[in-house]
Structure 1
Amino acid sequence: MTHMDGFADERIAGYKVWRLRLPVVSRREHGIGAVDNAVEILLLELASTSGLKGYGEASPWSVFTGSAEASQAALERYMRPVVEGRRVADIAAICADAARAVAHCTEAKAALESALLDLAGRLAGVPVWALLGGKCRDEIALSVSLADPDFDADLRLLERLRDDGVGIVKMKAGFRDHRFDISRLERLRRDWPELDVRVDFNQGLTPGDAMQRVRDVAGFAPTFIEQPVTADQFSLMARIRETIGVPLLA
C-alpha cells in the first residue's frame, strides 16, 4: 500500500490563480538584468473534493525565463482544462498533460507540480518528502545572493547573515566592470574566509571577455562558477571548463 492509496478517489474540485506584485526592498543586479521596485509572481491553489488545499508558486523573470503574463495565461487558459476533475493521485500524468498543453512556461508547470504534491501530502497526512521516496537529510543549508550594486549594503547584510548562521553566499557578477567583481571577492576572502562562496554571472559576459574573467574569478577558489555566457555558447563553455579547476555550472 502506498501513501496515494489513502485518497485514490479524491479529485481536483477547485483551481484558483492569483497574480501578486511584491515590493523589492533593495535593487538586485544580475548579469542579464536587474530586479528593482517590484516582482510579480503567480500563486496556484488546488482544492480536493474533501476540501483540502495545496499551493504552488510561479516566480518568472521576464529577461531570463518568462513573464508573469505568460505564466498566468499558461495556468488559467491552457493548463486548467487538463487539471480540473482529475484524480489528485495522478500527479505524473497530470504534469505530462500540462507539459504538452503549452510550450515553455516552466515556472507555471513547476507551480502545478508543487501544488499537486502539496495537496497529495495533505491528503495522505505526510510531508511531501515521504511521497518522493524518503528524507535524505534533516537540514538544508540556506544560500543568500549578494547582488546589491551598493556593496556596502551587502557587507551589512553579511554581518546579519553571520549572526543568523548562514554560511553560503552566491555573488552575482558581470553586471559592472571586472574590477568591481574582483574587489568584492578579495574582500570576501579576506574578511569572511569561512564563507562558502559561489559566483554567478547570469550569462552576462561577452565571448571575448569570458575566458580571462572566469579564470580570474576561479583564482579565488569559489565552490562553483555559474552561467558565465549565454546558454547557446556550448563550445565556449567547454573551453572555459578545460582551463579552470572550479566546477562550471550552466
Structure 2
Amino acid sequence: MSDLDQQITGYDVWHLSLPVTSRRDHGIGSVVGACEIIVLRLTTEDGTQGWGEASPWSVFTGSPEASHAALDRYLRPLVMNRTVAERRAIMADAPYVVAHCTEAKAALETALLDLEGRLTDQPVWQILGGDTPQPIPLSVSIADPNFENDLILLERITADGVGIVKLKTGFREAGFDTMLLDRIRSDFPAFRIRVDFNQGLSPDTAEARVKDVAAFAP
C-alpha cells in the first residue's frame, strides 16, 4: 500500500483568538484587540499530521464562525476515512457540501497538501508542479491610526532589511493619506510603497484621491 493510500482517521478543528499588539485601521474597518483564525489538523493511520489555517475577516468573505461550521459540520464527513490520494477528488466534492466558505476550503486543501508532502517527503511547491521557489520580498502594512507608532515600526523594519511597505489608506481624510506618503517618501526614501484603500473610497471621491496618491509614484 502506498503511503498516500492511508485513510484520514483524525480531524480536529480549533477556533482561536490571536492578540493584536497594535490597532490596524483599514478603509473597510479596523482590527483591534484580537483576530480570529480557524486551525485544522488532519491525521492519517500512521499518525502523520497535516495542518491548515483559515484566516477570515467578516467584512470581506466570511466570519470565523462560518469557517468553523463549514469545516466541523459539513466538510468533516467528506474527509473522514478517505485516503490522502483522494485530495483532488475531495476538493472537487467540497463545493457540493457547502457553498462559499472559501477560507475553510483553503484550510482543508492546505492540510491535505501538507499531509501529502509529509508522506512523500516532498515540498508542496513540488507537488503542485512549480519551479524552484524564489525569495519573496516581505511587505509590512502601515495602518496604525497613530502614525507616531508606525514611525517606530518603520525604523525597526528598516533595520531588519524590509524594503516594501503597504500603506493602508481611506479610513481618514485625504490630507492624512498624503501626509503619510510625504513623510515616508522624505524620511524613508529607500522603501517601495504600496497603497491599499481596502474599499475605503466612494465613487464621487475616488478619482481625486487616487490622483493625489499617484503623485507620490507608489
TM-score range, shorter chain: over 0.9
Q: Which residue, 97, 103, 125 being the options, matches 2:99? A: 103
Q: How many residues align?
A: 218
Query: Does 1:73 pair with 2:51?
Result: no
The RMSD of aligned alpha carbons is: 1.3
Corresponding residue for residue 91 of structure 1: 87
Q: Distance in 1 between matches of 2:127 and 2:120?
A: 9
Corresponding residue for residue 206 of structure 1: 202
Tell me if structure 2 keeps the 8 A contact 1:11–1:87.
Answer: yes
Residue type at the aligned position of 1:65? T
Q: Which residue, 33, 38, 56 being the options, matches 1:60? A: 56
Corresponding residue for residue 155 of structure 2: 159
Q: Which residue, 191, 203, 212 being the options, matches 1:216? A: 212
Gaps of 5+ in 1: 223-250
Query: Does 1:34 pair with 2:33?
Result: no
Corresponding residue for residue 230 of structure 1: none
- Give every structure 1 segment of 4 or more consecutive aligned residues whose post-TM-superposition deviation is greater than 2 Å: 5-8, 134-138
Tell me if structure 1 keeps the 8 A contact 2:79–2:90.
Answer: yes
Residue type at the aligned position of 2:80? E
1:99 to partner: Cα distance:
2.2
Q: Distance in 2 between matches of 1:102 and 1:219?
A: 45
Residue type at the aligned position of 1:87? T
Q: Distance in 2 between matches of 1:207 and 1:144?
A: 28
**Partner SS, residue 170 of structure 1:** strand
Q: Distance in 1 between matches of 2:137 and 2:119?
A: 28
Corresponding residue for residue 116 of structure 1: 112
Corresponding residue for residue 7 of structure 2: 11
Q: Distance in 2 between matches of 1:134 and 1:11?
A: 27
1:84-109 Cα distance to aligned partner (Å, 9 max, x none): 11111222211121122111111111
Tell me if structure 1 keeps the 8 A contact 2:7–2:44.
Answer: yes
Query: Does 1:141 pair with 2:141?
Result: no
Q: Distance in 2 between matches of 1:92 and 1:212?
A: 47
1:135 to partner: Cα distance:
3.6
Q: Distance in 2 between matches of 1:80 and 1:71?
A: 12
Residue type at the aligned position of 1:49? E
Gaps of 5+ in 2: none
Tell me if structure 2 keeps the 8 A contact 1:6–1:124.
Answer: no
